Amino acid sequence: MSRSLPARVPRAALTASAVSLVLLTAACGGGPKAQTAADSNGSPAQPVTVTYWSSSAGAQQTADAFNKTHPNIQVKFSAVPGGPDGAAKLANAVKGGNAPDIATMDYSALPEFASGGNLEDLSATSGELVSAKFPEAVQSLVKLGGRTWAVPFDVTPLELFYRKDIFEKHGVAVPKTWEEYKAAGEKINKADPSIRITNFGGGDPAALAGLAWQAGGRWYGTEGEKWKVAVDDPPSRKVAEYWNGLMASGVASKTPLWGEGEAKERSSGQVATVIGAAWTAGTFLANYPDLKGKWGIAPLPTWDGRPATGMYGGTSYIVPKGSKQTKAAAEFIRWVTTEPEAIRARLSSLKSPSSALPANPEMRAEAAKLFDASYFEGQDPYALASEAAGTIRPGWTWGPAQLQVSAAQGAAGADLVKALSEGQSAAEKAIKDRGLGLAG
């Protein structure tokens, strides 16, 4: 990210807010509840302690920095697992009446938690903050059914990371389209069969979702007061068939994402590219320091040559249902998402660098100051990620069953067409099991 950072994200780019109010909030009760008294700075009139759960690196140090400057609000942090395990733990805590006051949550899980009555409505405490400090497209990730359920932390546009030396050696230009990407992989693999264009053998359904998003897929929508599910829609199937074909031909590796095999292929030069997100840049510095100067960053190839991307993950701050300190929780969330001191506390504490792109554009310059961009020799990862964020394709909606969809897709292995089919079935079953309407 550059020192001068555009807040260029397309309007209505993540239209979860299009989901009807009745679908998302029927299980959640009425409007915003009354808050405890607080002064004009957001601090409560009497000292309070709020509990905070997260799997994010640097969360403890961020809480410590907040506590030093907010004597009337003390944050007690606990580390919890990420992913489905963390979501299950939080849901169980809400049911048991012992949930924290603050937690982090993936954007993809928000509709499910909101419709299940597991979140506090933050419209009264954080609605104005979200409207004022975050691009409209990112707002639509957390404003569901006309209410604010979370505050954004980061935005995660997909990008292409490529081995500059491999491309130069084989006289291959950086691809701008998926057709060119396939041709590049074929040329490189023919010249050196030990090198594949990348690995994509399952292991992370979020990557498939991001690529389907870029292609114009729309896994969820509404039809009247019913949910419409299209996980295996034509754009998504085009993506799955494309990658299945690359793996079947040997141009792409079937090695799963996020494992020892993937790390070995990257470190030994067996893959020429990595399909990653804004946060991926930091992983190269941490995991492959000896490859400094060999990796470059480019926009994700597209189907028609016009700039477009999807998102790969992404995190927000929530207040679980049952919190008695929603006002104090809102002050911590405001501070951690909009104050430069919070970025400094988090990033300065990390053992490995982070390139996570803050959703609040004003925070990006501070984050960039703490990142060593020399690894990419002349390229600024934060600037490039900010540009990519401006091309996030509009129209994507998360639905109320994504945790079940991800689990089913993960179990499908390397067959991405099967992953879509299994995800479709899982979504339909989950929606029916919860008593929600499902469009035919």
Residue 99 confidence (pLDDT) above 90:
yes
Residue 209 confidence (pLDDT) above 70:
yes
Locate the domains of the chain by residue range. Answer: 17-155+313-371, 158-311+401-433
Q: What is the pLDDT of residue 360?
A: 95
Query: What's the rounded Cα separation, in Å, for the pair 21 and 222?
Result: 11
Residue 89 confidence (pLDDT) above 90:
yes
Q: What is the pLDDT of residue 84?
A: 83
Q: What is the pLDDT of residue 118?
A: 96
- Give the architecture-level CATH label for domain 158-311+401-433: 3-Layer(aba) Sandwich (3.40)
Q: Does 158-311+401-433 match 17-155+313-371 at the fold level?
A: yes
Q: Pseudo-torsion of CA 237, 243, 248, 250, nearest 10°?
A: 170
Residue 429 confidence (pLDDT) above 50:
yes
Average pLDDT, the chain: 90
- Residues sharing a CB contact under 8 Å with residue 372, sequence separation 6 or more, in sequence order: 285, 353
Which CATH code is given to the segment(s) 17-155+313-371?
A: 3.40.190.10
**pLDDT tens figures, 333-345:** 999 999 999 999 9
**pLDDT tens figures, 353-363:** 899 999 999 99
